[in-house]
């Protein structure tokens, strides 16, 4: 490995010493903040040295390589993006020499024997092939972020600012729509304060009998944790649209599932015919109000069922559901496409790096 590049240890930068700027500070998990100066000229290629050991990160701009990383200070004439993908094929966590916090020493990486092409045109071709897939995934992610922001903006406009369209299609409140006082503040006349349990069912997830870390033909159902998928199981609890939040510890991350899933025992599961409305309600809750002062904050089913909300008439919610539902159809399609692209990239990566699949260099522009 040392024939292709040279690693150096990153530079310390305590959070309190970060000066607001546009330079990404790259830690073992990726970008951890921004600063006003850099340690590494673009392109910046790092791997996790401490914490998330061996995790590679590539940023095509000047950056500050944090001391939780090792960064490349000499590419030795090789294509930086090719080296990034090459590092992704290596399992470096076993080289960590730390105890409580695993650490990676550059002197353990440089002697590693690997199979790699040194042909600059072939390196460029491989990097272009893989980065094209990643660029499509990133485009989908950015599009989905815009769709999410649009949905949140519509929810706020309708149900916080009360500017939903009236009978004439005009913004309700600013067009003189009648308002009434309530325990939750001013709201449109005819709307009412209800408990969230009026429109949702809330249950707890369950601990599975067996799980795997990786997805297989047998273990294909996502095991849903408090903030993300934490593994896979061979059966499902739900095969319908549900919303999942963390019950203990991590709060405020709302996960959506419409395909078979198994929420873990550290989650609460919400079902409602007003799926999109409920999703936005859950995203706008300040979960600190449920903190009882324990070191591990806990949310109960009763907390959520009794949470007070302003409930619009069903016809208003129905219109909202149709509009927002169409946005999330696009969003879900993008996610499905990104999943397929990710599987394709992961299948191609080791084959391209080993030479099992060769990319015609003349096709690269």
* pLDDT at residue 365 is higher than 60: no
Confidence of residue 53 (pLDDT cuts 50, 70, 90): confident
The whole-model pTM stands at 0.85
pLDDT at residue 362, rounded to an integer: 66
Residue 304: both structure tokens together: 């959520």
Residue 267 has pLDDT above 60, yes or no: yes
Confidence at residue 52, expressed as pLDDT on a 0 to 100 scale: 83
Mapping DSSP to helix (H, G, I), strand (E, B) and coil, where does residue 246 land? strand
B/e letters for 230-243, b = 16+ CB within 10 Å, e = fewer, are ebbbbebbbeebbb
More confident site: 81 or 55: 81
Mean pLDDT of the chain: 93
* Homologous superfamily, domain 192-311: DNA methylase specificity domains (3.90.220.20)
**Is residue 82 predicted with pLDDT exceeding 70?**
yes
Note the CATH number of domain 6-80+90-113.
3.90.220.20
Beta strands 179-180 and 69-74: pairing type? unpaired
Q: Can you give the pLDDT at residue 51?
A: 79
Rg (Cα) of the chain, in Å, rounded?
A: 25
What pLDDT score does 214 carry?
87
Taking residues 144-156, what's their average pLDDT?
A: 98
Q: Angle, nearest 10°, between helix axes 120-159 and 80-88?
A: 80
Q: Domain extents for the chain?
A: 6-80+90-113, 117-166+313-365, 192-311
pLDDT at 257 over 60: yes
Looking at residue 99, the DSSP 8-state letter turns out to be S
Alpha-carbon distance 283 to 286, whole Å? 8
Question: Which residue has tokens 């490995």?
Answer: 1
286 pLDDT higher than 60? yes
6-80+90-113 and 117-166+313-365 in the same fold: no
Multiple choice CATH, 117-166+313-365, 1.10.287, 1.10.357, 2.170.130, 3.30.750: 1.10.287
Q: What is the pLDDT of residue 235?
A: 96
């Amino acid at each position: 490995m040392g024939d292709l590049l040279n690693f150096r240890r990153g530079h310390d930068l305590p959070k309190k010493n970060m000066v607001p700027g546009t330079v990404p500070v790259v830690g073992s998990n990726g970008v951890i903040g921004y600063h006003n100066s850099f340690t590494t000229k673009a392109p910046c290629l790092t791997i996790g040295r401490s914490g998330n050991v061996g995790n590679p990160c590539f940023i095509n701009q000047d950056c500050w390589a944090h001391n939780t990383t090792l960064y490349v200070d000499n590419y030795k004439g090789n294509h930086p993006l090719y080296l990034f993908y090459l590092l992704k094929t290596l399992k470096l966590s076993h080289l960590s020499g730390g105890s409580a916090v695993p650490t990676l020493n550059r002197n353990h990486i440089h002697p590693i024997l690997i199979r790699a092409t040194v042909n600059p045109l072939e390196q460029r071709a491989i990097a272009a092939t893989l980065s094209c897939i990643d660029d499509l995934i990133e485009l989908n992610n950015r599009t989905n972020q815009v769709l999410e922001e649009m949905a949140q903006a519509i929810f706020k406009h309708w149900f916080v600012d009360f500017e939903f369209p009236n009978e004439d299609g005009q913004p309700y409140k600013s067009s003189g729509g009648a308002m009434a006082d309530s325990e939750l503040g001013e709201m449109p006349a005819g709307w009412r304060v209800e408990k969230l349990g009026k429109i949702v069912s809330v249950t707890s997830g369950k601990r599975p009998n067996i799980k795997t870390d990786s997805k297989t033909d047998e273990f294909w159902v996502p095991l849903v944790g408090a903030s993300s998928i934490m593994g896979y199981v061979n059966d499902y609890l739900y095969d319908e649209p549900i919303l999942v939040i963390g019950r203990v510890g991590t709060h405020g991350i709302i996960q959506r599932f419409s395909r078979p899933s198994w929420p873990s025992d550290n989650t609460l599961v919400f079902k409602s015919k007003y799926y999109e409305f409920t999703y936005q309600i859950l995203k706008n809750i300040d979960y600190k109000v449920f903190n009882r002062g324990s070191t591990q904050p806990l949310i109960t089913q009763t907390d959520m069922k009794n949470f007070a909300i302003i409930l619009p008439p069903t016809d208003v919610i129905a219109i909202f559901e149709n509009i927002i539902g169409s946005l999330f159809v696009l969003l879900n399609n993008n996610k499905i496409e990104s999943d397929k692209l990710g599987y394709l990239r992961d299948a191609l990566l080791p084959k391209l790096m080993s030479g099992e699949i060769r990319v015609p260099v003349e096709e690269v522009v």
